Structure 1
Amino acid sequence: MTGHPFTLAGAALIALPSGALWWPDRRLLCVSDLHLGKALRIARRGGTLLPPYETRATLARLDGDIEATGATGVLCLGDSFDDLAAAGTLPEDERLWLLRLMAGRDWIWVLGNHDPAPTGCGGTHRAEARIGPLTFRHIAEAEAEAEVSGHYHPKCALAGRARPCFLLDEARLILPAYGAYTGGLWCHDPALVSLMRPGALAILTGPKALAVPMPRTAPQIRPRSSSLSR
C-alpha cells in the first residue's frame, strides 16, 4: 500500500495516492468533487470545448480504487456531478459504468454546492453523513471536530509541480478533488489557512501519498540572475 496511514478521532484511515480516502475497518472508500459531466456542462453553456473524456478518466480511477480495496461502501463527498443536469445527460456507456460500480454497494451521495439535490442515480442522498466518530460533509465548518470534507480542491507544489493534496490536522481532513479537469486552490490560500490548525499536514497525491508540512505562505520566487557582464 503506497497510501499514507493516519488516525482521526480514533478512526484508522489511509490517504490513497489517487486522492481517495480508505477506511479499512468500515471497508469504506470516500472520494470528493468528481464533477462528472464537466466537459459536457461547459459545452452546453457555450464555453470552451474540452475533450469529453474527463468522466471516463474519473470513473476508471474510481473503478481501480474500488477493485484494489474491495470496498463494500462508497461515499461521494459532494459535487459528484458538475451540475444537476449532468447526471441525466451522461452518455449511456458512462451511466452504465457508474451503475455497475454502485451495484451491490452501500453508496452515499453527500450533497454539494454543484449538486444540492438528489440526482436520480440511486444510492442514498444526505446533506451530511455521520459514520462512527466522523462527520462527512461537503464544506468544512469552522469549529467542527472529527470532520471530513471536500469542496476546496486543495493543491500543493513539490519540486515546482502542483499536486492535489489532502489537508490534515487533529480536528479535520479536507480531501482533494478526485475528478479530472477540476483545478485547485493553493493550500496557502487564506481560506484554507484559516481552517487548518498549526502543525497541519499536506498529503500530496501522485505515485505515492507523501506527507509534508502544510505551506501557510506563498513560496518566495527568486529573481533570475543576469548573465550579462556589467
Structure 2
Amino acid sequence: MNSHSFTFGEHRLTALPSGALWWAARRLLCVSDLHLCKSDRVARRSGQMLPPYETQETLSKLGQDIALTDPATVLCLGDSFDDLMAADSLGAADTGMLTSLQAGRRWLWLEGNHDPGPLAFGGTHLAVHGDGDLTFRHIASATAREISGHYHPKHAIPGAGGARPCFLTDGNRLILPAYGAYTGGLRATDPVLAGLFTGQTVAILTGHRAICVPLGGGVRATPVRRRIGIR
C-alpha cells in the first residue's frame, strides 16, 4: 500500500492515501470532515439537488480503511455530519453500514463547527481528545503536538495535474485533509494555513499513493514515494 510514515514528536504516524491517519502504536484510525449527508443539507437550504451518493462513498472508503488497519479506536475529528439535522436524514442502508463499522471498537466523535451537538449514534462525544502528549481537536489552536482538521487543505505539484487533498505538518502541528466525498478545499499555501505553522512545512498528498512534498521557497518539490505495510 502506498502510504507515507513520518515522525510527529516521539510518535510514528502514517498518512494513508485515502486521507485517514493511522497511529499503529495505539491502533487508532483518525479521519476528519466526513460531512455525511451534505447533499441533503444543500437540498434543504438551497434547493439545489446533488447526486445523493456521497455518504455511501465516504462510508465505503472508511470501511476499506477499517478492514485494512483493524483499529481498536476510530477517531472522527469533527464535521462528521454536515449539520445537526443530517444524522436524522441518514438512510437505513447507510445507518446500517455505519453501525456495523462501529461494532466491536471504540468510536470517538469530536465536535466540529458543523455538528456541535450530540449525534444519535453510539460512541463517545468529546470536544477535545488527549492521548499522551498528543491533542486531537477539530480546529487548530496554539497547542503543541496537535492534530486537527477543519480547513480541508489541498495542494498541487506543478505539472502533475490538479490539487489533491493533503495532510499538512511541521512536526509540531498536523492538519488532516477532508475525508468526505463532497468537500472543497483551501490551498495549502493560503495565508490562513501558512500562519498556523512555524517550522518547515510539508504536504502529504492523497490519491493513488501518498506523496510528501515540502512547501515554501518557490522550489518545485520532488515527490517522495514510500511503500509500507500497515499492520
Fold conserved (TM > 0.5)? yes
- Map of 1:1-230 to 2, 5 A cutoff? 1-141=1-141, 143-158=142-157, 159-215=160-216
Q: How many Å apart are 1:215 and its aligned residue?
A: 4.3
Q: Partner residue of 1:227?
A: none
CA distance in structure 2 between the aligned counterparts of 1:183 and 1:206, rounded to whole angstroms = 15
**Structure 1: segments with no counterpart, 5+ residues:** 220-230
Q: How many Å apart are 1:197 and its aligned residue?
A: 2.1
Higher mean alpha-carbon deviation, 46-55 vs 99-108, is at 46-55
**Structure 2: segments with no counterpart, 5+ residues:** 221-231
Q: How many Å apart are 1:198 and its aligned residue?
A: 3.5
CA distance in structure 2 between the aligned counterparts of 1:55 and 1:215, rounded to whole angstroms = 35
Q: Secondary structure at the match of 2:112?
A: coil
CA distance in structure 1 between the aligned counterparts of 2:79 and 2:127, rounded to whole angstroms = 12
CA distance in structure 2 between the aligned counterparts of 1:57 and 1:168, rounded to whole angstroms = 27
Question: Is the contact between residue 171 and residue 199 of structure 2 (CA under 8 Å) also seen in structure 1?
Answer: no
Q: How many Å apart are 1:46 and its aligned residue?
A: 3.0
The CA RMSD over aligned residues, in Å, is 1.3
CA distance in structure 1 between the aligned counterparts of 2:189 and 2:47, rounded to whole angstroms = 30
Q: How many Å apart are 1:160 and its aligned residue?
A: 3.5
Q: Secondary structure at the match of 2:164?
A: strand
Instruction: Render the CA deviation track for 1:107-151: whole Å, top value 9, x for unaligned.
Output: 00000000011112110000010012210000001x221000000
- The TM-score with structure 2 as length reference comes to 0.91
Question: Is the contact between residue 188 and residue 216 of structure 1 (CA under 8 Å) also seen in structure 2?
Answer: no
Question: Is the contact between residue 34 and residue 180 of structure 1 (CA under 8 Å) also seen in structure 2?
Answer: yes
Question: Is the contact between residue 75 and residue 107 of structure 2 (CA under 8 Å) also seen in structure 1?
Answer: yes
Question: Is the contact between residue 187 and residue 216 of structure 1 (CA under 8 Å) also seen in structure 2?
Answer: no
CA distance in structure 1 between the aligned counterparts of 2:63 and 2:133, rounded to whole angstroms = 27
CA distance in structure 1 between the aligned counterparts of 2:105 and 2:163, rounded to whole angstroms = 34
Tell me which amino acid in the other structure corresponds to 2:23.
Answer: W
Counting aligned pairs with the same residue, the percent is 59
- The TM-score with structure 1 as length reference comes to 0.91
Q: How many residues align?
A: 217
Instruction: Render the CA deviation track for 1:182-228: whole Å, top value 9, x for unaligned.
Output: 010001111101001231100000111100012477x9xxxxxxxxx
CA distance in structure 2 between the aligned counterparts of 1:155 and 1:202, rounded to whole angstroms = 9
CA, structure 1 residues 99+169, in 2 after alignment: closer, same or farther (shift >3 Å)? same
Question: Is the contact between residue 149 and residue 174 of structure 1 (CA under 8 Å) also seen in structure 2?
Answer: yes
Q: Secondary structure at the match of 1:207?
A: coil
> For the pair shown, which has the larger CA radius of gyration, 1 or 2?
1
